[in-house]
Amino acid sequence: MYTNEPNALVVLALLKAHGIRTIVASPGTTNAPIVGSAQKDEFFTVYSVVDERSAGYVAIGLAEASGEPVVISCTGATASRNYMSAMTEAYYRKLPVIALTSMADKEMVGHLLPQAIDRTRVPTDVALTSVQLPTLRPGDDTTVCAQLVNRALLETKRRGGGPAHISLSTTHSGVFDVDVLPNVPVLDRFSVTDLVEGRAPDVDALQGCRVVVTVGAHRPFDERLSAAVEAFAETFDAPLLIDHTSGYRGPEAVQAAALTTIGSAPGLRPQVIIHIGEVSGDYPTMGFLEGASAQTWRISEDGELRDRFGSLRYVFEAPEAVFFERYVARAVERGARAGRRAFRDRWRTVVDSVTVPDALPLSAPMIASELAGRLPQGSALHLAILNALRHWNNFSVDPSIVSSCNVGGFGIDGPVSTLLGTSLAFPDRLCFGVIGDLAFFYDMNALGNRHCGSNMRILLVNNSLGAEFTSSDHLGRRGLGDDVTAYVAASDHNGSAKGWAESMGFAYLTASTPAEFRKQLDTFVAPFDPTGAPVLFEVFTTPDDEDAGRRAVIDANRGTGAKAARAVFEVMPPGMKKIAKKALGRG
Ligand SMILES: Cc1ncc(C[n+]2csc(CCOP(=O)(O)OP(=O)(O)O)c2C)c(N)n1
Ligand SMILES: [Mg+2]
């Protein structure tokens, strides 16, 4: 029987899953749960070495001779300190030794409890990674614990390998009544060499599945990556889910955020998510994928275990293009036919079915809907967080437009400066910024920068607060009602940007009604004139109109996604319907 302590069970389950069999155990109470469990499982070979310093070196000998990771397990007191010398040896020789140091809960450190020493920081040259497992009781969620253990174990084999440290707490339960190890997520990481030499998962794992590729914030795709991802989309019928931060505007782009507006639609759920890029500000798509119960394959040169959707299975520490090219090549070798479209068509049809009601009040969504299609070809676009990005993600822009948003840290503190930087990098392009008032006034000094050029065009949506917080479905509005306005939404601070913009040499446009807004649009999007002035277009909206505009778009589209999805079927010949149903998982 195994211990009933969940964190130790996770460690045991993952040691087995990763094929790590050898444990060198030193005596003690706090490591009794894990040692007492391992000794009863024939999978493990356990050696006893009293002196922890010696145990560490025994592990060095074992790890070097076998080439396999070896675990050393010790208790509290000063036991773990004696691992330092062997761990240092392991570090400088890249030997896979895993120090599993047990103790009572780490919160006890510093309160004069016996044997509780601090292991939260380890010297840089004793372990490639050091993780602190949470203290868990039977029934507790083990997700985070499993992620940490996976990370530590995988690190021992990564980039030539080396030692890792796992701090394992105990609740001193003393109960050994569990007869089966838990089923915990096992993560695997593959390098470029694994991909090239065929050690990565077989292409069968993708063929016949509903696969999506989702792209977080990403630098603009180069030609090779575009071609590779498009070939992948064709080969696996995989929609490419993007937003304005994804750096891709080719023919396979599906601007998935429109789903928020539509609600949901049947048949969109993937079974495999290919995840590239960094943080995404596309909350709706991320939320949808989180709930998809799919399996995620993450591709990133950083090789980190980033589990955005709670369903990570594989990480490919490889350039994205290499991954896509390899899997397409494998599928082609197996005789895959390119050109299946049922799943991509379904996504595209649903997303394209978003409509905008005719008479929206003057508001961020109305501005996005009317300006998105008017931005001149070849412009650059910077969207402030959160509202600007949110509303613009419902609308597409010309494929020649490059766009970005500061979703790395989600600060409202730098959108004008970022736009300035973009405008300096692209002196021959018009550079548009769509920015809320709190964000604009936060960063308004950038307008005074002497490098500001005539290619800057700022659309300032001035609702004199953070409309983010006053929208009817924001938790602040729901919980505080109108009291959300003064302090959470920071209303009524700045007035107008007119004086500052004009004194800094910006041409100033303004609008307070839909008609005024439309009247000024031609001027705002007029072709680039290097001899002209930069432009600030200040549009005054009200929080009520902001909310009404947002709601109106949602209300106009509820259910249309489902309708659009059904319509795709209706126009299909019967034989095709059957194939499509099967492909969409409804056959
Ligand atoms: C530096 C920083 N401070 C605070 C926040 C929290 N925050 C997120 S959105 C937002 C409101 C932005 O208001 P505004 O720019 O006027 O845009 P609106 O929501 O009105 O469209 C705030 C304060 C943040 N993201 N960054
Ligand atoms: Mg605002």
pLDDT, one tens digit per residue, over 347-395 is 998 888 878 888 899 999 999 999 999 999 999 999 999 999 999 998 9
CA dist., res. 46 & res. 31, Å (int): 13
553 has pLDDT over 90: no
Contacts 24+ apart (CB under 8 A), 220-226: 220/247, 220/248, 220/402, 221/247, 221/248, 221/250, 224/321, 225/320, 225/321, 225/324, 226/250
Q: Which residue has the tokens 């391992």?
A: 38
Atom of ligand 1 nearest to the CA of 384: 15
What integer pLDDT is reported at residue 572 of this predicted model?
A: 44
Report CA(461)–ligand 2 centroid distance (Å). 7
CATH number of 193-351+573-583: 3.40.50.1220
CA dist., res. 162 & res. 332, Å (int): 37
573 has pLDDT over 90: no
User: Residues lining ligand 2 (ion), CB within 5 A?
Assistant: 436-437, 463, 467
* H or E segment to which residue 581 belongs: helix 574-583
Omega of the bond prior to 459 within 30 degrees of 0, cis?
Answer: no
> Which string of b and e fits 417-446 if b means at least 16 CB within 10 Å?
bbbbebbeebeebbbbbbbbbbbbbbbbeb
CA dist., res. 49 & res. 218, Å (int): 50
Residues with CB under 6 A from ligand 1: 364, 384-387, 410-413, 436-439, 461, 463, 466-468
- The SS3 assignment for 240 reads strand
Contacts 24+ apart (CB under 8 A), 40-47: 40/1, 40/2, 41/2, 41/12, 41/16, 43/16, 44/15, 45/21, 47/22, 47/23
Encoded tokens for 299: 């591709």
Q: Which residue has the tokens 């759920």?
A: 269
CA dist., res. 26 & res. 49, Å (int): 5
- Note the pLDDT tens digit of each residue in 61-116: 999 999 999 999 999 999 999 999 999 999 999 999 999 999 998 888 888 888 88
What integer pLDDT is reported at residue 313 of this predicted model?
A: 97
CATH topology identical between 6-185 and 193-351+573-583: yes
Domain boundaries, the chain: 6-185, 193-351+573-583, 364-556
Q: Please check whether residue 167 is in contact with residue 134, taking contact to mean a CB–CB distance below 8 angstroms.
A: no
- The SS3 assignment for 400 reads coil
Per-residue pLDDT, averaged over 116-145, amounts to: 95
- Residue with CA closest to ligand 1 atom 7: 412
575 has pLDDT over 60: no
Closest CA to 450 of 422, 418, 414, 424: 424
Domain covering 364-556 assigned CATH 3.40.50.970 in the classification = yes
Domain covering 6-185 assigned CATH 2.40.50.140 in the classification = no
- Residue with CA closest to ligand 1 atom 11: 466
CA dist., res. 570 & res. 381, Å (int): 39
Q: Which residue has the tokens 């750096």?
A: 247
What integer pLDDT is reported at residue 105 of this predicted model?
A: 83
279 has pLDDT over 90: yes
- The SS3 assignment for 189 reads strand
Which residues lie closer than 8 Å to 359 by C-beta, 6 or more apart?
none
- Note the pLDDT tens digit of each residue in 146-170: 999 999 999 999 999 999 999 999 9
Report CA(533)–ligand 2 centroid distance (Å). 25
Closest CA to 274 of 245, 235, 244: 235
What integer pLDDT is reported at residue 559 of this predicted model?
A: 66
Cβ burial of 545 (10 Å; 0-12, 13-18, 19+) is: buried
341 has pLDDT over 60: yes
- Mean pLDDT value across the chain: 93
Q: State pTM to two decimals.
A: 0.93
Report CA(542)–ligand 2 centroid distance (Å). 9
Q: How far is CA 355 from CA 362, 554, 566, in A?
A: 17, 9, 17
